[in-house]
Amino acid sequence: MDRDIDFGYTKDHARKGANTELPAIQCWENQYKRDYVIKIVLPEFTSVCPKTGLPDFGVITIEYIPNELCLELKSLKYYLLEYRDMGIFMENIANKILDDVVKACKPKVARITGEFTPRGGLKSVIIAEHGKWPSK
């Protein structure tokens, strides 16, 4: 097997979508000072492969321990819908969502999990984290 196969992916493909400006995620004031976990699941996430233009499907899970602010769900829905026609790799999706969630609400910790529908027999699960989760 030839290990030097050129699949035609470029640096432009790799970064595509990662720096795209998306709608702001709004927040509201957290009413509790104790630590608790908020888990938000989007079971019908869609985006587009930046090279082939084919759709990608998956489940995005956002988990975080709020600090002063909590994510407002309506603005989060509009934010996530922007990925529908965006060419972006799965790895960039999880990391971009994490960056934008942290920027919006500055949680104590956060975890974004992207569990994507298998393609060609391979299933990708991407986990991006901010901060250190407390031990149980």
Indicate the DSSP class of residue 104.
H
The number of beta carbons lying within 10 Å of the beta carbon of residue 120 is 4
Q: Which residues are catalytic?
A: 49, 56
Decide the pairing of beta strands 109-116 and 27-29: unpaired
Tokens of 98: 């994490």
Q: Do 91 and 21 form a contact (C-beta atoms < 8 A)?
A: no
Q: Do 66 and 38 form a contact (C-beta atoms < 8 A)?
A: yes
CA distances, 105 to each of 30, 81, 88, 108, 115 (Å): 10, 19, 24, 9, 23
